[in-house]
A = this chain, B = another copy of it.
Amino acid sequence: MTFETLSTSRAHGGVQGVYRHQSAVTGTPMTFSVFMPPHEPGAKLPVLWYLSGLTCTHANVTDKGEYRAACAEHGLIFVAPDTSPRGEGVPNDDAYDFGQGAGFYVDATEEPWSRHFHMRTYIERELPELIAREFPADMARQGITGHSMGGHGALTVGLRNPDRFRSVSAFAPIVAPAQVPWGEKALAGYLGPDRARWAEYDAVSLIMAGARVPELLVDQGDADQFLGQQLRPELLRDACEAAGIPLTLRMQPGYDHSYYFISTFMPDHIRWHAERLKG
């Protein structure tokens, strides 16, 4: 697998890099960003994964996420993958919520998506192996978060891999894609009409089927235009209550779905993960 550095810049005492590699899992080049905080030579640092939302690449949170100061303060590596394979020869859809930029963190089984759209395996296996190999990362200390579609990604990847992640949080996540329009469209398109096969990609279904994490932190703006139809955090709240998973669900008054919302609460999420990734 080739691995190349597209850019590095000093930032907040560390280094913000953008990298590209040839992914065997997606069959395409994949770009991602990594912020490496200032650290002692030889140190191995905990890793916080951030999965992005619809239409995004690594660049949105890298530009607008305001995570570097807090990651520098707490000594966390911040990894931001892309949201899908891209490029010529990769199928796409004219809609913003399906195809390129909308991989939904699934391994697609339906044509024409099944050849390249393997974001689950990319996030769960291939990219972590590369991060472990190329960066001074302590892979025994990983946390995961994300926004919207990426909040769905963080919750489902976290719930399926409780041994890998010590901490799971989300910003305005799609908590039950099988029950909302964005998710119904994407899961049907990538996985086919059999809803039983969607369950492993639905946080609420995973919890109801027995998946467990020690706790969850979710921030949600109450002025978010997608709140009632697409996000529905009450479904996660009910599932966590029934399962006994401590959920901190903070409804943030006046906040919308944008990076203005994410960047406001990003430092607090980073502090929260850092506390759980210590030592």
- Which residues from chain A sit less than 8 Å from chain B, CB to CB? 9-13, 16, 63-64, 66, 68-69, 221, 223, 254-256, 258-261, 263-264, 267
Contact = CB atoms under 8 A, between A and B. Distances in A.
Given A63-B63, A260-B16, A69 B11 contact: no
Given A69-B267, A267-B69, A260 B11 contact: yes
A9 B261 contact: yes
Contact of A66 (B16, B66, B221): B66
B256 A10 contact: yes
A66 B255 CA distance: 18
Contact of A263 (B11, B259, B264): B11
A225 to B, nearest CB: 11
A16 B259 CA distance: 11
Given A9-B256, A221-B10, A261-B10, A63 B64 contact: yes
Contacts of A13: 264
A73 to B, nearest CB: 12
A252 B254 CA distance: 38
Nearest to A66: B66
A14 to B, nearest CB: 10
A206 to B, nearest CB: 31
In the A-B complex, list the 6 residue pairs whose CB atoms are closest, starting with the nearest.
A11-B260, A10-B254, A9-B260, A10-B255, A12-B264, A63-B64
Nearest to A267: B69
Given A10-B254, A66-B66, A68-B264, 18 more contacts: A9-B255, A9-B256, A9-B260, A9-B261, A10-B221, A10-B223, A10-B255, A10-B260, A10-B264, A11-B260, A11-B263, A11-B264, A12-B263, A63-B259, A64-B64, A66-B68, A66-B263, A69-B267
A183 B260 CA distance: 35
